[in-house]
Chains A and B, each alone.
Chain A
């Protein structure tokens, strides 16, 4: 293991050394104009009758594949895999040293938080399949002979995704604002609190709790709605990502979830911008306070812009205005994923590999348990900044396009005919604002 990166990953900035170069202004403008043009093109020429319907969309997956993923062996294998990684990380967290080369930091901030996105995008709801808290809940139920799906109470539907939004905020706060985010104690405490809350929730409400309240399961399952894997009446089906996205359940708090996810990622870009740095560093107000306020402002701001954009429409009698934001919030998911790709791609590839290298040495004593300690990280993306910048902008624009189409299809489904087009306009502006804002941050920070 070279000593190069051991010292490179340093505490005050979270983990990871150098950051991405800003994208060029030409690229940002090209992306923004493409987003703008696409938006109005979709509005002008797209279909006028809804195309996506969860009850009929998708074609059955090949029988062999269905048998495999529905088999007990497959499920157990997933649970064992998830639990093994969980135990390994817990071991490093409990018995490892409080050094930045402890792999627990990379596992926590990079594999878990960022890695879950591509995994879910490719494979479907991954966290649901491997979640160690679900596994423990399952184990308790097996031992006590009860049903893991049932708890003492029924999960209150009014709570919806709100607990997950809170949990996601707790994570991004820890990652982006909390000054001691790369010390072992706080990471241990955060994880212990997460596991505790999840187990109590599971005992009280059964595994239905995880669907709505486990921040990682909600995040992973939302992203999985952009994969091709879906279920219809319990059967595994293949769907187009857009048809799959349409099947996101519109529970209360969905807007809060997408607002935290998008707002926090935007804040992560913003806090490294030269302008914010020089402001924060030259005022007498505490930096921590300002960062806390800015993170909240970004999340609340995204939520408000989206809610306003989706509510400014004419309505029929069958729908209340307050329901609109959650009914349309699934359309922000592709925008989030596009921006996450842009923001985290190089970070995930590089620090993800460093974490794999460090994972061989969980106690920081020079061991090589997994045989990965001598791997050479692949830095190709860093050496090809133009390629990276193009991928980033394409990801943002592609996410925007999918988001606009998803919103359009939902709008023509729920809005009365005479408001279907004009009613979409404010929402379209909100989405363009997100995308252009995201591109601006990639350019300015």
Chain B
């Protein structure tokens, strides 16, 4: 039993060391200007289609939307953001998100996730 415990302890320690090097937080890029994402909403489909996009904490996101119909984009941050747009081309701004996490950006009408913002 003691041998097992010792082995386990050693393993957990090595894991702790490994993880300590593994998890580095990204540097704060809030000053590097907004992130721009081109979004197309057409025929019931969205592009990008549920992809991950990394943004920094506090960084604004600019959506260049081209859509064949007016609609609303939901940003599932807290507080939630709602962005309305008309048919045609429009530019929407998602305010900087202050809490790290994964935030879905979704077309309200189609109930489809356009991008998932990884806020780091």
Complex CA gap A186/B79 in Å reads: 26
Name the interface size band of chain B: 35 or more
In the complex, which residues of chain A have a beta carbon less than 8 angstroms from the beta carbon of B15? 30-31, 34, 393-394, 397
In the complex, which residues of chain A have a beta carbon less than 8 angstroms from the beta carbon of B62? none
Contact digits for A1-31, partner B, Cβ 8 Å, 1 yes 0 no = 0011101111011000111111110110011
A41 within 8 A of B: yes
In the complex, which residues of chain B have a beta carbon less than 8 angstroms from the beta carbon of A34? 11-12, 14-15
A383 within 8 A of B: yes
In the complex, which residues of chain B have a beta carbon less than 8 angstroms from the beta carbon of A42? 4
Main secondary structure of the interface of B (DSSP, over half): mixed
Name the one of A26, A41, A272, A281 contacting B11, with C-beta atoms under 8 angstroms.
Answer: A41
A293 within 8 A of B: no
Complex CA gap A46/B8 in Å reads: 11
Complex CA gap A397/B13 in Å reads: 12
Tell me the minimal C-beta distance from A286 to chain B in angstroms. Answer: 12
Chain A residues 236-281 with CB under 8 Å of chain B are: 272, 274, 277-278, 281
Complex CA gap A278/B21 in Å reads: 32
Complex CA gap A397/B15 in Å reads: 9
In the complex, which residues of chain A have a beta carbon less than 8 angstroms from the beta carbon of B104? 13, 19
In the complex, which residues of chain A have a beta carbon less than 8 angstroms from the beta carbon of B79? 3-5, 7-8
In the complex, which residues of chain A have a beta carbon less than 8 angstroms from the beta carbon of B102? 18-22, 272
Tell me if B8 and A18 are in contact (CB < 8 A).
no
A379 within 8 A of B: yes
Complex CA gap A261/B89 in Å reads: 46
Tell me if B80 and A10 are in contact (CB < 8 A).
yes
Complex CA gap A389/B50 in Å reads: 23
Tell me the minimal C-beta distance from B77 to chain A in angstroms. Answer: 6
Q: Known: A18-B102, A19-B101, A382-B99. Is A12-B111 also a contact (CB below 8 A)?
A: yes
Tell me the minimal C-beta distance from B49 to chain A in angstroms. Answer: 4
Tell me if A8 and B80 are in contact (CB < 8 A).
yes
Tell me if B78 and A17 are in contact (CB < 8 A).
yes
Question: Looking across the interface, which residue of chain B has its beta carbon closest to that of A284?
Answer: B44
Question: Looking across the interface, which residue of chain B has its beta carbon closest to that of A37?
Answer: B11
With contacts defined as CB atoms under 8 Å apart, how many contacts are there between chain A and chain B in the complex? 142
Question: Looking across the interface, which residue of chain A has its beta carbon closest to that of B101?
Answer: A18
In the complex, which residues of chain A have a beta carbon less than 8 angstroms from the beta carbon of B22? 24, 26-27, 30
Complex CA gap A282/B20 in Å reads: 39
Complex CA gap A382/B112 in Å reads: 25
Complex CA gap A17/B16 in Å reads: 30
Complex CA gap A397/B113 in Å reads: 32
Tell me the minimal C-beta distance from B107 to chain A in angstroms. Answer: 10
Complex CA gap A336/B70 in Å reads: 45
Tell me if B52 and A18 are in contact (CB < 8 A).
no
Tell me the minimal C-beta distance from A352 to chain B in angstroms. Answer: 15
In the complex, which residues of chain A have a beta carbon less than 8 angstroms from the beta carbon of B46? 281
Complex CA gap A382/B120 in Å reads: 10
B33 within 8 A of A: no
In the complex, which residues of chain B have a beta carbon less than 8 angstroms from the beta carbon of A4? 78-79
Complex CA gap A84/B76 in Å reads: 33
Tell me if A390 and B113 are in contact (CB < 8 A).
no
Tell me the minimal C-beta distance from A413 to chain B in angstroms. Answer: 16
Question: Looking across the interface, which residue of chain A has its beta carbon closest to that of B54?
Answer: A21
Question: Looking across the interface, which residue of chain A has its beta carbon closest to that of B49?
Answer: A278
In the complex, which residues of chain A have a beta carbon less than 8 angstroms from the beta carbon of B8? 38, 41, 401
Q: A8-B79, A27-B23, A282-B49 are in contact. List 8 more A-B contacts (CB 8 A).
A: A19-B104, A21-B119, A24-B24, A42-B4, A45-B4, A277-B49, A390-B19, A397-B15
Residues of A within 8 A of B (CB): 3-5, 7-10, 12-13, 17-24, 26-27, 30-31, 34, 37-38, 41-42, 45-47, 51, 272, 274, 277-278, 281-282, 287, 379, 382-383, 385-386, 389-390, 393-394, 397-398, 401, 405
A-B contact pairs, 26 of them (CB 8 A): A8-B80, A10-B74, A12-B74, A18-B76, A19-B104, A21-B101, A21-B120, A22-B102, A26-B22, A26-B23, A27-B23, A31-B15, A41-B4, A45-B4, A45-B7, A46-B4, A47-B1, A274-B52, A277-B113, A278-B51, A282-B45, A379-B99, A385-B101, A390-B20, A394-B19, A401-B8
What 4 A-B pairs are tightest by C-beta distance, nearest first?
A26-B22, A277-B50, A18-B101, A8-B78
